[in-house]
Amino acid sequence: MRTPVAVLGASGYTGAELLRLLLDHPRVEIAALAAERSAGARIAQVFPQLAGRLDREVESLDTEAIAARAEVVFSCLPHGASAAAVAALVERGKLVVDLSADFRLRDAGEFATWYGPHPHPQLLARAVYGLPELYREQLRGARLIASPGCYPTATILAAAPLLARGLLRPRLVVDAKSGVTGAGRAASLGTHFSEIGEGVRAYKVAGTHRHTPEMEQELTLVAGGAVRVTFTPHLIPMARGILACVYGEPTDPALGEADYRSVLIDAYRGEPFVVVLDDALPDTAHVRGSNRAHLAVRLDTRAGVVVAMAAIDNLVKGASGQAIQAMNIALGWPEADGLSGVALFP
Amino acid sequence: MRTPVAVLGASGYTGAELLRLLLDHPRVEIAALAAERSAGARIAQVFPQLAGRLDREVESLDTEAIAARAEVVFSCLPHGASAAAVAALVERGKLVVDLSADFRLRDAGEFATWYGPHPHPQLLARAVYGLPELYREQLRGARLIASPGCYPTATILAAAPLLARGLLRPRLVVDAKSGVTGAGRAASLGTHFSEIGEGVRAYKVAGTHRHTPEMEQELTLVAGGAVRVTFTPHLIPMARGILACVYGEPTDPALGEADYRSVLIDAYRGEPFVVVLDDALPDTAHVRGSNRAHLAVRLDTRAGVVVAMAAIDNLVKGASGQAIQAMNIALGWPEADGLSGVALFP
Amino acid sequence: MRTPVAVLGASGYTGAELLRLLLDHPRVEIAALAAERSAGARIAQVFPQLAGRLDREVESLDTEAIAARAEVVFSCLPHGASAAAVAALVERGKLVVDLSADFRLRDAGEFATWYGPHPHPQLLARAVYGLPELYREQLRGARLIASPGCYPTATILAAAPLLARGLLRPRLVVDAKSGVTGAGRAASLGTHFSEIGEGVRAYKVAGTHRHTPEMEQELTLVAGGAVRVTFTPHLIPMARGILACVYGEPTDPALGEADYRSVLIDAYRGEPFVVVLDDALPDTAHVRGSNRAHLAVRLDTRAGVVVAMAAIDNLVKGASGQAIQAMNIALGWPEADGLSGVALFP
Amino acid sequence: MRTPVAVLGASGYTGAELLRLLLDHPRVEIAALAAERSAGARIAQVFPQLAGRLDREVESLDTEAIAARAEVVFSCLPHGASAAAVAALVERGKLVVDLSADFRLRDAGEFATWYGPHPHPQLLARAVYGLPELYREQLRGARLIASPGCYPTATILAAAPLLARGLLRPRLVVDAKSGVTGAGRAASLGTHFSEIGEGVRAYKVAGTHRHTPEMEQELTLVAGGAVRVTFTPHLIPMARGILACVYGEPTDPALGEADYRSVLIDAYRGEPFVVVLDDALPDTAHVRGSNRAHLAVRLDTRAGVVVAMAAIDNLVKGASGQAIQAMNIALGWPEADGLSGVALFP
């Protein structure tokens, strides 16, 4: 008997990616799809890759109707809109995995600074940050999971173990490169093939990207003291993938590159989806379509800088795959259920 | 108890794709990998996407050793080299799925015209052409399967039902567009990113591509009379995918577009991996990474030409996925085992 | 003393391409830019590649104001809108090169079939079709030039000499592949990077694309009898370029491949922008950014089909470059002025 | 009467780019092309984009023969090989612009550390570093010009004015993203379309890339004290372009973003090829094919970090265009001769 799940905001890329993964998940069945703009359409009209594989109508969002049919709900709604639906579904006792930003920041004031007033601040304390490598225990039995942002996932995986051991000074430069799906499915000049193919550019430079406070919140918690991040995201001509390079100053000049690598290896021993590379360097092409993170660390001995790198698929480990991983943990299922797929390379 | 399988030529793209699919196949286990150039390396050094997922050494090719450990062998060796290994393994009673061209042509003379003298012509009659949509019954219990070429797969799927009913005159133009993985993993100026990105070009034009006789052989068989194909392959700037456009002249001017569509729908009713689109047109992006074929047909009433189209992933339905599908049928397993994955879109 | 020129519809890709080429043209100066949506902006805000190179405000369209300041006007307005501006400017004695479809079809009835009623049918007879290789003499002194469509340019260059000599039967299949700039600068799901990168698809199949009647009109004229074209355009993941493959049946089975090549070579001897390749095949990457067309022809002796190919840059020889070439001829200037640039490869 | 120029190493990408630019340069004519591997071929066989535009045989390298026919020689030979040819040609009184690394480092010991013993150390003192924005006066009349590396060009343009005024602490992080042409034309797995399309990866991380000492040398000179750079290059899926992000710590916390921008604007006032953007951010797509650099600077006030960015085309301002700019200055010609082309966007 499979557990019925629903996807809200099913017409975007994280929605489609949830469907791709959930269709091969051995313990769930897709019970409902909601998306305002596509309401009334068959899902295969919205996403032709599902033709012959999933034949279901997209519904207008009605949390009561959803609650009546699903036990687990993934919300890919935009921030703000998501909080309202999440609140209604949590109240009805559903397991809700929220892929929006609405429950990622623990502090309502900080949320307000970046997004405006929080519509349901009382729920913030109930949300568990859905990064299993840091919060596996808290996720067990959780009912409201705030699935992390794509950039924070890559950044935190690379930097957290080093900060947790006090090996880096608490000021980091994070230079990250993302595929275009990170910008969503809405058509705009900024996602037009002809505008962004064959080029690279930074955007929201110098601490203006909303993922900055999320990184700082989590890294501050692991470091046990305030961490500041200068974050520069880039848009590069590929659909999927994030590569984050984290630059930090060592606190202990006696350590060598192998020491930093050992710290990462120790930190992620037994983790099903994190690989610490040795000779090779992370390449987003090697994780595309998979829930894996490839990490590496290098020490610039000339300049005295540690460079920690992480490659993920922004739609999988950076969004939908990680959301399913968190669900698996919350429900006590095998953590890799539905997530065993090898990256599609090339 | 899983069936042990081996992959010969595991260091190329069809080899990697077999591994990706076989790792999630519920009835097999990977027992051996062989590849001359990479012998001695761990497979994750050859294909970093397998890091943490498959840890096995690549061996030098030794058919005796392979036969001792595997019940099913997939050969991704180059043509010529493949026939020798296939012959040795068939003799030892293994199920062999040959992804090379060595057993696709039924006639040794025709083979010689395109590839040189056949090293094992006596085996040609034992080989079953591994296109399940045409040869499902012959595949049951087969021991030597000649897995079709990527271009022929797309072309035959689009054209065969129309030719089988005598609806097209037996002279076709096939204009096909392929991703770069079709050229293999060997580095050359012709696969250099800078040379072929941002451009499109035909190659081996006017009946000089070796997939031409394969198409003609199979289409002639279904048509019940000689079919001639003018085949033009193109290389376009993407890694995966083939879109084939088949142009043919109707034999019955009274038929309308809906009639041709009905023929395709009837032909593929119940097929697990073929979808006949209605309003939409096939797009390789919608089948990438999956074993599916998307078909459509249009009638140019002004000029009197039928246009049948098929989109596949050249590495999956055009190679490794189809090879697994054929294995499933040969062994009496559920045909979609290991092949249920939805396309990775976007 | 440079001739003042104006560009209407300057905020689209053909507008930008005109500016790129005109800025290095030795005989003109840019006197006015008009574009409704961008009116009031500096052109470098619309197209940052012009920063430091052209500092001019984009104006709202006012044909009187334009006529007062420019002697030559290029219109990149949408069809329908263009005809009105063109009529006003022709009346004021300007040389107008219209890059829209409004004056390409000679027959108002045919125009109406594809676009709706023509707003200025009386001007159709005055327009010269701006393909210099066919209409050089008529272009000298012309005042209204209908610049050809991108697909027709490639198709006609490949096919016209063969049809003119009666070497092909008058039914052609044209399978063409275009970069995404052909779809314009407007943002849509169909031009979203994530939707169309890594994939290929046909669109407006089976004679439904509006460039079909333009091809047929011109090929019929050169052939001296009705020519029917089955035209299939494709969108492929690159910004620029068109490769057209023209398939036709030979009328004289005695001719060999070299004969067809000789016909093309003879037809284009002395042409400044047409190259007939011998061993090589056309590749859009080799003409990107240039006004050149690369042609080749092959004979499929097995099937009896001639394959003629042409590669152009859709924005240059397929639009803005060709428009400038026509202006040069109309004004008696050296034909290659402003168009000598070598393709940007890679 | 045009000045005869020769290109050594004409079969690579910087060679091709020199030819593209030189063919439209009003004061030169191409007198000789040399390239070992392509010797005996016509240049249009090596680079089909030149068909119909330049018909000349590629010669085997013979510096005597070159010296007899050319007054200016551009060397695109590999480092080491270049020095020998350069020495011979400088001795014969030619103006030599060396695009290899052989004369970029002033110190023979430093050169030896990164490249091995220098074959002609006595010439190092005669070489002028060919970055016009820093060395315009020294370039006038120079006979041996060491054309800068692509990464150093972008990095120095972004950072030098800020360091020259003492506004940044002398430890920088430089995170740069390059198109694939930076890896040259030689075919390798690392430039295979299928391997590197749809992915991003760093390489030669943590101060191991040979452009590091070049950056440090020049930045140290402008800063008037040792500058250390942690340099991370990336390979991204596009053919051309470099975007460098330079991260530095302000020395004066009272300065605001506008102050840093003013410094850049002042530093590059009157420069023909440097644009300091205001609201916009640099995008390599906006400089592709042009000799321009687009710069911007942002201040992360939260973390106290200055982010200076530069976008160039690695083959133009990062190589061949800059080499021509230096030649123009050395010979007293207008600096923008042959370099006025607007970027090819899109």
pLDDT digits 0-9 by tens, D101-125: 999 999 999 999 999 999 999 999 9
Q: Position A188: which residue type? A: S
pLDDT at B207: 78
Q: Enter the ipTM.
A: 0.96
Cα distances (Å, whole numbers) of residue A296 to A158, A243, A284, C109, D277: 8, 11, 13, 67, 35
Average pLDDT of span A91-118: 97
Query: Quick one: CA torsion of C130, C131, C136, C140, rounded to 10 degrees?
Result: 10
DSSP-derived 3-state class of residue A136: helix
Flag if A13 and B50 touch (Cβ within 8 Å).
Answer: no
In a 13 Å sphere around the CA of D331, the CA atoms on its Cβ side amount to 24
Active site residues of B: 150
pLDDT at B212: 97
Taking the CA of residue C181 and the nearest CA in chain A, the distance in Å comes to 6
Residues of B in contact with A16 (CB under 8 A): 345
Q: Where are the domains of chain B?
A: 3-126, 151-314
Could you tell me how far CA D320 lies from the centroid of its own chain? 7
Q: What is the pLDDT of residues A127-181, one digit of tens each?
A: 999 999 999 999 999 999 999 999 999 999 999 999 999 999 999 999 999 999 9
- CA gap A122, C11 in Å, rounded: 49
Query: Quick one: CA torsion of C12, C15, C17, C19, rounded to 10 degrees?
Result: -130
In chain A, whose CA is at the least distance from the CA of D171?
A303
pLDDT higher than threshold 90 for residue A1: no
Q: Are C11 and C34 in contact (CB under 8 A)?
A: no
Q: Are D273 and D292 in contact (CB under 8 A)?
A: yes
DSSP-derived 3-state class of residue C142: coil
Taking the CA of residue B119 and the nearest CA in chain D, the distance in Å comes to 32
- CA gap C115, C108 in Å, rounded: 10
Of the candidates C5, C150, C263, C274, the residue annotated as catalytic is C150
Flag if B52 and A275 touch (Cβ within 8 Å).
Answer: yes
Q: What is the pLDDT of residues B236-253, one digit of tens each?
A: 999 999 999 999 999 999
In chain C, whose CA is at the least distance from the CA of B206?
C300
pLDDT at C207: 78
List CB contacts of C302: < 8 A, sequence separation 6 or more.
B207, B212, B228
Quick one: tokens of A8? Answer: 């809200």
Nearest-CA neighbor of C234 among C206, C207, C204?
C204
Name the residue facing C198 among B234, B245, B285 (closest C-beta): B285
Q: Are A280 and B48 in contact (CB under 8 A)?
A: yes
DSSP-derived 3-state class of residue B284: helix
- CA gap A200, D154 in Å, rounded: 14
Q: What is the pLDDT of residues B279-335, one digit of tens each?
A: 999 999 999 999 999 999 999 999 999 999 999 999 999 999 999 999 999 999 999
Residues of A in contact with B343 (CB under 8 A): 20, 49
Name the residue facing D13 among C49, C240, C346 (closest C-beta): C346
Kind plus residue range of the DSSP H or E element containing A73:
strand A72-75
Q: What is the largest distance, in Å, between two alpha-carbon atoms of chain C?
A: 63
Quick one: tokens of B87? Answer: 């012959």
Name the residue facing A192 among C179, C187, C238 (closest C-beta): C187
pLDDT higher than threshold 90 for residue A207: no
Q: Position D254: which residue type? A: A
Kind plus residue range of the DSSP H or E element containing C163:
helix C150-164
Q: Partners for C (CB, 8 Å, 3+ pairs)?
A: A, B, D
User: Which pLDDT band, with edges at 50, 70 and 90, does C179 fall under?
Assistant: very high
pLDDT at D206: 87
Strand C95-98 and strand C72-75: pairing?
parallel
Taking the CA of residue D17 and the nearest CA in chain B, the distance in Å comes to 13
DSSP-derived 3-state class of residue A89: helix
pLDDT higher than threshold 90 for residue D1: no
Kind plus residue range of the DSSP H or E element containing D309:
strand D305-312
Q: What is the pTM of this model?
A: 0.97
- CA gap A198, D241 in Å, rounded: 8
Average pLDDT of span B150-172: 98
Residue B245: left if φ>0, alpha if ψ -120 to 50, beta else—which one? beta
- CA gap C147, C74 in Å, rounded: 10
- CA gap D206, C317 in Å, rounded: 46
Q: Are C196 and C164 in contact (CB under 8 A)?
A: no
Q: What is the CB neighbour count within 10 angstroms for residue C257?
A: 15
Residues of B in contact with C260 (CB under 8 A): none
Q: Are B162 and B260 in contact (CB under 8 A)?
A: yes
- CA gap C284, C238 in Å, rounded: 10
State the architecture of D151-314 in CATH terms.
2-Layer Sandwich (3.30)
pLDDT higher than threshold 90 for residue C325: yes
Flag if B346 and A239 touch (Cβ within 8 Å).
Answer: yes
Q: What is the CB neighbour count within 10 angstroms for residue D307?
A: 28
Cα distances (Å, whole numbers) of residue D67 to B155, D4, D70, D83, D95: 58, 10, 5, 15, 10
Q: What is the DSSP string of D249-278?
A: -BS-TT--HHHHHHHHHHHHTT-SSEEE-S
Flag if D13 and B237 touch (Cβ within 8 Å).
Answer: no
| Residues recorded for chain D | 346
In chain C, whose CA is at the least distance from the CA of D239?
C346
Quick one: tokens of D106? Answer: 């002033």
- Is residue A150 part of the annotated active site? The answer reads yes
Residues of B in contact with A292 (CB under 8 A): 52-53
Nearest-CA neighbor of A139 among A337, A324, A338?
A324
User: Which pLDDT band, with edges at 50, 70 and 90, does B1 fall under?
Assistant: confident
Q: What is the DSSP letter of B182?
A: G
Calculate the average pLDDT of chain C.
97
List CB contacts of B229: < 8 A, sequence separation 6 or more.
B155, B171, B172, B173, B174, B207, B212, B215, B216, B219, C303
In chain C, whose CA is at the least distance from the CA of B176?
C175
Flag if A230 and D303 touch (Cβ within 8 Å).
Answer: yes
Of the candidates A8, A22, A46, A150, the residue annotated as catalytic is A150
Best of C193, C235, C288, C344 to substitute, by most chain A Cβ atoms within 10 angstroms, is C193
Percentages of chain B per state (helix, strand, coil), in multiples of 5: 35, 20, 40
Flag if B173 and C200 touch (Cβ within 8 Å).
Answer: no
Q: A–D: how many Cβ contacts below 8 A? A: 178
Helices (H), chain A: 13-22, 43-46, 63-69, 81-91, 108-115, 132-139, 150-164, 193-196, 211-223, 257-267, 321-330
Residues of B in contact with D344 (CB under 8 A): none
- CA gap C248, C170 in Å, rounded: 8
Q: What is the pLDDT of residues D190-228, one digit of tens each?
A: 999 999 999 999 999 987 899 999 999 999 999 999 999
Report angle CA D125, D130, D134 to the nearest 5 degrees: 100
Residues of B in contact with D238 (CB under 8 A): 197
Q: Are D10 and D328 in contact (CB under 8 A)?
A: no
Q: What percent of chain B has pLDDT over 90?
A: 99
Quick one: tokens of D2? Answer: 């045009």
Q: What percent of chain D has pLDDT over 90?
A: 98
DSSP-derived 3-state class of residue C173: strand
- D3-126 has which CATH code? 3.40.50.720
Residues of A in contact with C239 (CB under 8 A): 193-194, 197-198
C186 forms bridges with which residues in the sheet? none
User: Which pLDDT band, with edges at 50, 70 and 90, does A189 fall under?
Assistant: very high
Q: Strands (DSSP E) along chain B, which ranges? A: 3-8, 28-34, 72-75, 95-98, 128-129, 144-146, 171-178, 201-202, 228-235, 242-248, 274-276, 293-300, 305-312
- CA gap B182, D197 in Å, rounded: 14
Flag if D187 and B185 touch (Cβ within 8 Å).
Answer: no
pLDDT at C178: 98
Calculate the average pLDDT of chain B.
97
Q: What is the DSSP string of D189-245?
A: GGGBHHHHTT--EE-STTTTSTHHHHHHHHHHHHHTS--EEEEEEEE-SSSS-EEEE
Residue with tokens 């560009």: C7
Flag if B239 and D188 touch (Cβ within 8 Å).
Answer: no
Percentages of chain A per state (helix, strand, coil), in multiples of 5: 35, 20, 40
Strand D72-75 and strand D95-98: pairing?
parallel
- CA gap D322, D330 in Å, rounded: 12
Residue with tokens 């046909």: C202
- CA gap C322, A23 in Å, rounded: 51
- CA gap D296, D289 in Å, rounded: 20
| Residues recorded for chain A | 346
Cα distances (Å, whole numbers) of residue A39 to A5, A45, A54, A231: 18, 11, 16, 37
Q: D interface toward C at CB cutoff 8 Å?
A: 13, 16, 19-20, 23-24, 45, 47-54, 181, 197-198, 239-240, 275, 277, 280, 283, 285-290, 292, 294, 340-346
